[in-house]
């Protein structure tokens, strides 16, 4: 059997999904999504108004995934056996956008727009793909029963440090920790324990770093009674925990989730919205 080194594309985008256990068992199923084959290409989907009883719904949503070789002439030369596939470079682009989201009854969360997006470029000498969070990501129009939240995003650190290796090197730089360490929770307490020293530490498990593209969250006017804000987390009484702009970073992939909900009383369950993952690498 003949095996040749090839580029394996990988990229996916989901508008929403999850599972409610209370007050009824409801699987939050999106009618469409986008994912690439190992050979790349393009996959897109449009989701019309979708609602799960009075507990969850969206006005519309779109997803998109594209993986292509960058140089058309060089790709054509490969198809004519004039260059090997490893002479090519590839780019992958994934996007998910959700419009008119609502969750819950009393209180009710509404969000005008969520947009997640990642751009990746195939690995070079390091073997790690460069994956950027573009400036077009968005969380707009967040309201809980008339109380408006402003979610300020800062994707810049994850544009400048677009590989896992670059981020690890930056984490040892005191200037980076001072400027962007909050995006990686480097000096925040974990499980009640403060970060060790002024240099801080990354929050990492099984090679995956936990980060956020959220710079800050604040109320525009009066806060919702009893609510609590902790960096990218908002806790709303009788609704649950709202995590905005979560980014998971490993050596070969990044995953961006614009909203993750851990619902509790009277709703119970987990839901995520505008969730994308991007990477790709060389294999046999």
pLDDT digits (tens, 9 = 90+) for 246-279: 999 999 999 999 999 999 988 999 999 999 999 8
**Model confidence at 282: pLDDT above 90:** no
Q: Give whole-number Cα distances, 234 to 90, 151, 180, in Å.
A: 38, 10, 21
Tokens of 185: 């929770």
pLDDT at 193: 76
List of E strands, 70-179: 90-103, 109-121, 130-132, 138-144, 147-153
pTM for the predicted model, two decimal places: 0.95
**Model confidence at 24: pLDDT above 70:** yes
pLDDT at 2: 66
**Model confidence at 97: pLDDT above 70:** yes
Using the CB atoms, write b or e for 106-143: b if 16+ within 10 Å. Answer: ebebebebbbbbbbbbbbeeeebbbbbbeeebbbebbb
């Amino acid at each position: 059997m003949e095996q040749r080194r090839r580029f394996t594309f990988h990229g996916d985008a989901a508008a929403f999904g999850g599972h409610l256990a209370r007050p009824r068992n409801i699987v939050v199923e999106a009618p469409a999504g986008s994912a690439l084959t190992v050979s790349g290409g393009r996959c897109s989907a449009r989701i019309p108004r979708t609602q799960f009883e009075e507990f969850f719904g969206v006005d519309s949503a779109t997803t998109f995934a594209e993986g292509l070789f960058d140089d058309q002439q060089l790709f054509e030369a490969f198809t004519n056996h004039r260059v090997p596939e490893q002479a090519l470079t590839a780019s992958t682009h994934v996007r998910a956008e959700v419009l008119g989201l609502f969750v819950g009854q009393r209180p009710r969360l509404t969000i005008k727009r969520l947009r997640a997006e990642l751009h990746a470029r195939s690995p070079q000498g390091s073997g790690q793909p460069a994956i950027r969070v573009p400036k077009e990501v968005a969380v707009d129009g967040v309201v809980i029963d008339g109380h408006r939240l402003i979610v300020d995003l800062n994707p810049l650190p994850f544009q400048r440090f677009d590989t896992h290796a670059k981020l690890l090197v930056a984490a040892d730089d005191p200037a980076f920790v001072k400027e962007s360490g909050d995006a990686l929770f480097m000096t925040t307490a974990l499980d009640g324990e403060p970060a060790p020293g002024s240099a801080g530490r990354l929050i990492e498990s099984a090679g995956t770093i936990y980060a956020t593209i959220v710079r800050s969250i604040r109320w525009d006017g009066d806060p919702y009674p009893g609510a609590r804000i902790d960096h990218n987390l908002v806790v709303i009484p009788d609704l649950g925990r709202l995590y905005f702009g979560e980014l998971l970073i490993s050596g070969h992939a990044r995953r961006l989730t614009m909203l993750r909900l851990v619902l509790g009383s009277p709703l119970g369950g987990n839901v995520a919205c505008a969730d994308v993952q991007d990477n790709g690498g060389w294999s046999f």
